[in-house]
Amino acid sequence: MTASYLSPAELGDIWSAVKSTPCYHDFNGIHRIWADLLAEVAARNSAGIVALGARLMETSSSLERDERTYIVAAMSTAYVRLGQLPQARELLMTQWDKLNHGGEFGLSLRELLALAQPGEHPALAGSRPTEPGVHGS
């Protein structure tokens, strides 16, 4: 819940503290992978998000709908950030019927699917809409 409000540096301090706790060190398996995924989201590390998200999808056959939705949203966003649109599209298409489209990620999922479609798209980083009647240079 803090990832969108704090910088990666600020979140790095928080996640360093979490990862230094006995609780973190005593757990392995799915709980540890979740913690590591959330730390990668906080760090905005796209490659780490994809890798850990894939591990969660592979190792957990009993993901709840909202958990799966979060993982797919995070992974497809990371794929888009990495410029790997075919991978984002494939992930979204194969998981689409298993996702919660009415929750907090509903709009994001539709936007990610649109971005991942074949064809030319404007650069995502640094792009912004122009005002009506004003043409970009």
Q: What is the pLDDT along the chain (137 residues), one digit of tens a residue?
A: 677 788 888 898 889 999 999 989 888 888 899 999 999 999 999 999 999 999 999 987 789 999 999 999 999 999 999 999 999 999 999 999 999 999 899 999 999 999 998 876 555 444 433 344 434 43
The structure's pTM equals: 0.81
Which residue ranges form the domains of the chain, and what is each CATH number? 8-115 (1.25.40)
Residue 112: exposed, middle, or buried by beta-carbon count in 10 A (0-12, 13-18, 19+)?
Answer: buried
